[in-house]
Amino acid sequence: MRIRVIGAGAAGLTAAFELVRQAESQNRDIAVEIVEKAEGPGRGCSHYAGGMIAPWCEAESTEPIVATLGEEALKFWTETFPVAEKRGSLVVAPKRDRPDLLHFSRRTKNFVTLDRDGVAALEPDLAENFDLALYFAEEAHLAPRDALTKLAEHLAQKANVTIHYGVDAMALAENCDWTLDCRGFSAKPDLSGLRGVKGEMMIVRAPDIKLTRPVRMVHPRHPVYLVPRPDGTIMVGATMYENEERARVTAESLVELVNSAFALNPAFAQAEVLETGSDVRPSFADNLPRIRREGKKLFLNGLYRHGFLLSPPLASRAARVILEGAHFPEVMDENRGQRRSA
C-alpha cells in the first residue's frame, strides 16, 4: 500500500510515524511518502509553537475531548517518542487577578495548590511576586523545532519512508493508494469551514531569570505563557487574533507579550529579544480537530493552538482509518452533537 502524507509539520510527521508503527505491528507492507513544500520539517505553525503538552491546563478553556486526547499525546511525547521533559506546568496570576486563578482551578484537575514557599521550591525567580500557584506535575514540554527535526530524522532512516522537501504535492500525480493531507491552514481552499487564527510570539534571552518548566499567567484579557528552551532562551507566547495575516508581527502584540513577561518578573525588562514570529493556526468554527474523509483521501486538520497536543492522537486514529477501515465519530462526524456524545 502506497500512502502519501502531505506536510511535514507536527501533524504530518506524527501521522507518518503512526502509519509505520502500526503497519509494523500488523505485519503490513506499506510505503510512506512525505511531501513538504518548505525546505525542511516544521516550517509552518509548528515553528512558532510553545510545545506544551498540557492536557489538564488546556481543559480550562476547551471541551473535554482536548484533554482526553491530550493525555494520549503526553504518553506519545514522553514514552513512544520521548523528546519531552515531564517537569509539570505552573499557573500563576497577579494578586488583582486571583479570582481568575480560582476560576482556572475550578475548571481543571490533577494539580496541587502551592504557597510562596512551594513556588520558590520550583521556580525561585517567581516567588517574590506570587504566593499562590497551581502546579500540574504530570504535564510536559518540548522544544518544537528540535522535536520535529528528530522525528523527521527517525523517519528518514526507515526503509519504507521517503521524504521530499521543496516539493508542492498539489502538482504531483495521485499515484498512491491513500493521501493524508496535513497541510494545516494551507488546505483552506480544499477544506470547507477551515479558518485561520493568528498567533504571535517572541523568544528572549534573560540571563537574570531561570525557568525550568512552562509558566502560565492567568489574565482576563492577555493570558501569557513562558516556555524554557534547552539553549537557555525562553519562548513567550502567544497572542490570538481572528485574522489570517500569516507573517506580520504587530507592535501591539509585542507590547502585550513584553508587559506580561514583565509582570512575572521585572527583570524581563532587560531581556534580549532574539526572535519574533507569527503564523496562522488552522481552526474550525468550534476550535476542535477533524479527520475528514473523501474517498481514499483524509484531511487531518483543525488543531487550532493544540498542534503538539493533538497531533499524536489524531495521527493514531488516521492511521487506523487507513490500515483498518476504522471510524472515530468523536473526530470524524460532521455533526457536533454526535461528536460530543461520542
pLDDT given for residue 241 in this prediction = 84
Q: What is the pLDDT of residue 238?
A: 85
Average model confidence (pLDDT) for the chain?
A: 94
**Does the structure show a pLDDT above 80 at 220?**
no
In the chain, the number of structural domains is 2
The SS3 assignment for 107 reads coil
Q: Is 151 in the same domain as 277?
A: no
Looking at the structure, do residues 178 and 299 belong to the same domain, yes or no? yes
Contact 200, 239 (CB under 8 A): yes
The rounded percent of the chain whose pLDDT value lies above 90 is 85
Lowest-confidence segment of 56-60, 131-135, 262-266 by average pLDDT: 262-266
b (16+ CB within 10 A) / e for 154-182: bbeebebbebeeebebeeeeeebebbbbb
297 pLDDT more than 90: yes
What's the pLDDT at 336?
60
DSSP string for residues in 246-262: SSPPPHHHHHHHHHHHH
Together in a domain, 309 and 241: no
User: 183 and 217 share a domain?
Assistant: no
Q: How confident is the model at residue 223 (pLDDT cuts 50, 70, 90)?
A: confident
Q: Record the pTM.
A: 0.94
Residue 222 has pLDDT above 80, yes or no: no
Section 41-61 average pLDDT: 94
pLDDT exceeds cutoff 90 at 136: yes
Helix residue spans in the chain (DSSP H) = 10-25, 55-58, 64-75, 98-106, 116-122, 144-156, 251-264, 307-324, 329-332, 336-341
- Per the domain annotation, does 296 fall within a domain? yes
- CATH number of domain containing 317: 3.50.50.60
Q: Are residues 182 and 117 in the same domain?
A: no
Check residue 185 and give its pLDDT.
Answer: 95
Q: How confident is the model at residue 240 (pLDDT cuts 50, 70, 90)?
A: confident
In a domain, 60, yes or no: no
Question: Is residue 264 pLDDT above 60, yes or no?
Answer: yes
82 is a domain residue: no
Same domain as 261, residue 149: no
Single residue among 240, 260, 283 that ends a domain in this structure: 283
| Domain shared by 291 and 328, yes or no | yes
In a domain, 314, yes or no: yes
In this predicted model, which residue has the larger pLDDT, 341 or 254? Answer: 254
Boundary of a domain, candidates 264, 283, 302: 283
- Reported as a pLDDT band with limits 50, 70 and 90, residue 63 is very high
Question: For residue 337, what pLDDT band results from cuts at 50, 70 and 90?
Answer: low
Q: Is residue 120 part of a domain?
A: yes
Confidence band (pLDDT; 50, 70, 90) for 133?
very high
Per-residue pLDDT tens over the stretch 23-38:
999 999 999 999 999 9
Cell, residue 341? 456524545
**Cell 525567580 -> residue:** 125
Final residue in a domain of this structure, among 283, 298, 325: 283
**Would you state the pLDDT for residue 245?**
80
CA distance 308 to 163: 20
Q: Within this chain, do residues 31 and 41 fall inside the same structural domain, yes or no?
A: yes
Residue 79 lies in a domain: no
- Say if 63 falls within a structural domain: no
What CATH number is attached to the domain comprising 256? 3.30.9.10
- Helix (H) or strand (E) holding 81, with range, is none
> Are the C-beta atoms of 166 and 151 separated by less than 8 Å?
no
Q: How confident is the model at residue 80 (pLDDT cuts 50, 70, 90)?
A: very high
- pLDDT given at position 315: 98
Based on the domain organization, do 40 and 148 belong to the same domain?
Answer: yes
Q: What is the pLDDT of residue 170?
A: 87
pLDDT at 335 over 80: no
Q: Which residue is it, cell 500563576?
A: 92
Is the same domain home to 127 and 199?
yes
Please give the pLDDT value at position 338.
Answer: 53
Residue 342 reports pLDDT greater than 70: no
122 and 204 share one domain: yes
Whether 64 maps to a domain, the answer reads: no
Name the residue range of residue 272's domain.
Answer: 89-137+195-283
Q: Are 185 and 100 members of one domain?
A: no
Mean pLDDT of all residues in 332-338 = 68
